[in-house]
């Protein structure tokens, strides 16, 4: 039986612009992408806030996947909204606006059973809020956080304190460089590890992801897609596939298990970017992910015996 994962993060209206199209006020947010991905594997408890302008029916697909929404509060005010633009280099996101709305005054009160959650994912949101939630959960087996350039620039102290509380950090390569003030991702990752976490997952967009743990390094390519429509949410759905796999796994989490989890993350993220917003994730199944996982095994395998 998969163990529950508590996720705290944003639930948002996104305005998205890529060279392949535009979408206005579509459902998004870091917690939405994570929940949509991880709910293919494990029971999800979602902690976030929306305003009274939020159309709850848009979350029916998560409810249908069994996502527990008792931790989603509705407050007086506007739902968080974000505008992002990408050029042909889809690895770079330009933030057009961030409107915190009801997140500005949010202090989550967790339903009693949420306070015992073995897996906790702090999706991208203010690091003080991430810390607040971590502090309320007992019996954590694995805690991971994600962040972004905005918080590195504006809330560094809170972010460092949050990083000290978690087992794993997921972050993209530009943010590693920014956080550690170095051009080397390897050096940057080591500096983040020095703050306390056991591992760091560095996302490299179309080039895949790498995982650094104390003494190990593991590389996962991205799936070779011909067409990427919208990279929004790739990082959160990567985290969802990764953590979902771990929550479903019943044995000890060894390096080999973590490697499989990274490939699941890459496989799920590769679907997310095929369509705008959450569209592809809404219809994704575990069987789709499993097929792609098998392809990853084929294209990453190479013979190591001597070849004449």
Interface contacts to ligand AMP, rule CB under 6 A: 10, 12, 14, 28-30, 82, 98, 124-125, 148, 150, 232-236
The least CB distance from residue 182 to ligand AMP, in Å, is: 22
Which pair of tokens denotes residue 248? 């479903």
The least CB distance from residue 304 to ligand AMP, in Å, is: 35
The least CB distance from residue 96 to ligand AMP, in Å, is: 11
Closer to ligand AMP at the Cβ: 137 or 268?
A: 268
In DSSP notation, 65-82 reads TT-B-TTEEEESSPPPEE
Closer to ligand AMP at the Cβ: 130 or 249?
A: 130
Q: Is residue 164 within 8 Å of 195, Cβ to Cβ? A: yes
The least CB distance from residue 289 to ligand AMP, in Å, is: 18
Closer to ligand AMP at the Cβ: 82 or 276?
A: 82
The least CB distance from residue 121 to ligand AMP, in Å, is: 12
User: Residues with Cβ < 8 Å from 307, sequence gap 6 or more?
Assistant: none
> 300 has which bridge partners?
none
Residue nearest to ligand AMP (CB): 28
The helix (run of H) or strand (run of E) holding residue 130 is helix 127-136
In DSSP notation, 141-162 reads SEEEEE--HHHHHH-HHHHHHH
Helix, coil or strand: residue 213: strand
Closer to ligand AMP at the Cβ: 235 or 265?
A: 235
Closer to ligand AMP at the Cβ: 4 or 28?
A: 28
Tokens 């949050």 found at: 162
């Amino acid at each position: 039986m998969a163990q529950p994962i508590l996720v705290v993060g944003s639930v948002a209206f996104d305005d998205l612009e890529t060279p392949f199209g535009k979408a206005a006020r579509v459902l998004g947010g870091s917690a939405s992408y994570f929940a949509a991905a991880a709910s293919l594997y494990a029971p999800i408890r979602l902690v976030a806030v929306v305003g009274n302008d939020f159309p709850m029916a848009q979350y029916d697909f998560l409810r249908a996947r069994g996502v527990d929404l008792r931790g989603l509060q509705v407050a007086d005010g506007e739902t968080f909204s974000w505008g992002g633009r990408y050029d042909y280099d889809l690895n770079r996101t330009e933030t057009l606006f961030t409107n915190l709305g009801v997140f500005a005054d949010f202090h989550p009160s967790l339903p009693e059973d949420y306070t015992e959650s073995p897996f906790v994912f702090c999706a991208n949101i203010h690091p003080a809020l991430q810390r607040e939630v971590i502090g309320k959960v007992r019996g954590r087996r694995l805690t991971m956080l994600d962040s972004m350039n905005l918080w590195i620039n504006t809330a560094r102290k809170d972010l460092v304190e949050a990083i000290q509380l978690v087992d794993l950090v997921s972050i993209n390569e530009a943010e590693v460089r920014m956080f550690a003030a170095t051009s080397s991702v390897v050096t940057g990752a080591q500096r983040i590890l020095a703050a306390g976490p056991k591992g760091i997952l560095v996302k490299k967009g179309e080039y895949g992801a790498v995982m650094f743990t104390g003494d190990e390094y593991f590389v996962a390519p991205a799936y070779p897609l011909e067409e990427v429509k919208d990279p929004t949410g790739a990082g959160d759905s990567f985290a969802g596939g990764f953590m979902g796999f771990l929550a479903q796994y019943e044995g000890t989490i060894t390096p080999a298990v973590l490697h499989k989890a990274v490939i699941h993350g890459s496989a799920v993220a590769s679907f997310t970017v095929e369509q705008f917003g959450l569209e592809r994730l809404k219809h994704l199944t575990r069987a789709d992910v499993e097929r792609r996982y098998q392809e990853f095994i084929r294209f990453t395998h190479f013979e190591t015996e001597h070849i004449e």
